[in-house]
Structure formats: C-alpha cells, structure tokens
Amino acid sequence: MDEAKSEMLYSASRRFGFIHIQKNAGISISKVIADHVDDAQRIVSRHARVCDVVPAIGTEEWKSLYTFAVVRNPWDRLVSWYSMIAQRSSRYDPFFWKKPRIWRYAVKNSHDFKSFIKNCDAVVMDQGVEKSFAFDQLSYIEDAEGKIGVTFVARFENITDDLSHVWETLNIDMSEAPRLNASKRPKDYRLHYDEETAEIVAHRFKRDIDAFGYEFDDAARY
C-alpha cells in the first residue's frame, strides 16, 4: 500500500474496515495498519463514510467485517482541525493551490478561530467526496437505516485502551500502537471558545453530543 494517508481502509484477508473521521488519530492508525497488513487498501476515497463504502463492497461483505472508527469531543476536534490548518496553510503560500480544497475554503473564509466556527459550515466537494467542517461524526458511521454501522467505536479520549482492543482483534503487535499527532496549542480546548462559539458547536454537533455523551467541560476530566 502507498504511504499511509487519511483514508477508509479495507482488508479482505484480515476481514476488517476502518472508517477514518478527520482529526481523530486516523493517520497514525492507518500507518500501523499499513505496516502490518499487506492487502490494506483504500475504498472509495479518503474520509469515506459507511454509506459511501457499503455500495462499493456490498452490504453482506460489510456486515461480515470487523469495522471500527474513532470519535472525539466535538469542541476539542474543531480546535485541533483549525490549529492544523492555521499552522500548515497560508493563502500566500505559492503551493496553496495544492492544499485540500476544504483547507483552502477554510483559509479563504476565516481569519481566526471564531470566524472559522461561524463562517466555515458549507459543503465542499473535495477529491470526489462531500466534505464539511459541519458534518457530525455520527454521519460517518451511520448506515442507510440511520443506525451505527461499525462494530466498534473507539474514543479519542481513551484511545490507548480502546485501540488495544482493536490491535488484539486484528492480531497486530501491541507495541506498535500509534503515536498521536501533537499540535502546538494549549491542552485545554475550552480556552479557544467564548459563549457564542461554544453554543454554535453544541447546536451543530448535537447528534454527536447526544450519541456519545460529550460535554463542553470534558477537558477537566482528562
């Protein structure tokens, strides 16, 4: 397989599928998989959702696999996403046009975190897939009937323990568990928010908050 990138990975021999939701340690997970599973391949496109993948490989095949994804506190996830784009993108970069279209959209429509939250909620066609900073995480793992369509949902906040279960299931050496990408930002994501932006995220990602029990003050628990 090519160098590990953010993508939906599938292995016919190991019988698994991994749905990569952006900013949830997916690149690190993909790297571990690429190093240990020879036939791991990208299906449909990067950041494909369950509803994108099932038509490509068939409902029965998907149901027969061990499938997993990682979810994250939405307030934390948005800070991480904005921080990465702000650090790595500038409209004055001569290679700016090579950046993902969703990144270019964010840079052109925001000048700080608050404007990113308020302005960057449109759907953008990027690499043949609809992408948006406003898509909730639940939409990536729902099947056509609106039910969670993966076998196991790991949590970013408990990723070491949760992935140990995944690696054991896939017969991957536990010592090779991924190192998470570090970002140059304060640990407490709450520092980036005011009352208005915190409420926007609460409303926009209500389904994630309800489904996975996240709260704005989760940072105090980790």
In the chain, domain spans: 9-72+137-176, 74-134+191-221
pLDDT tens for each residue of 164-176: 999 999 888 766 5
Return d(Cα 91, Cα 25) in angstroms, integer: 26
Q: Nearest CA to 116 among 144, 145, 79, 143?
A: 79
Return d(Cα 6, Cα 52) in angstroms, integer: 15
pLDDT for residue 6 is more than 80 = no
- pTM score, whole prediction: 0.85
Return d(Cα 72, Cα 21) in angstroms, integer: 9
Q: Nearest CA to 20 among 85, 28, 143?
A: 28
End-to-end Cα, the chain, rounded Å: 35
pLDDT tens for each residue of 192-219: 999 999 999 999 999 999 999 999 988 6
More confident: 33 or 180: 33
* Bridge partners (DSSP) listed for residue 42: 9
More confident: 174 or 93: 93
pLDDT-derived band at 154 (thresholds 50, 70, 90) equals very high
- The answer to which of 72-76, 98-102, 110-114, 152-156 has the lowest mean pLDDT is 98-102
pLDDT-derived band at 5 (thresholds 50, 70, 90) equals very low
pLDDT for residue 62 is more than 60 = yes
What is the reported pLDDT for 92?
64
What is the reported pLDDT for 152?
98
What is the reported pLDDT for 27?
85
What is the reported pLDDT for 22?
87
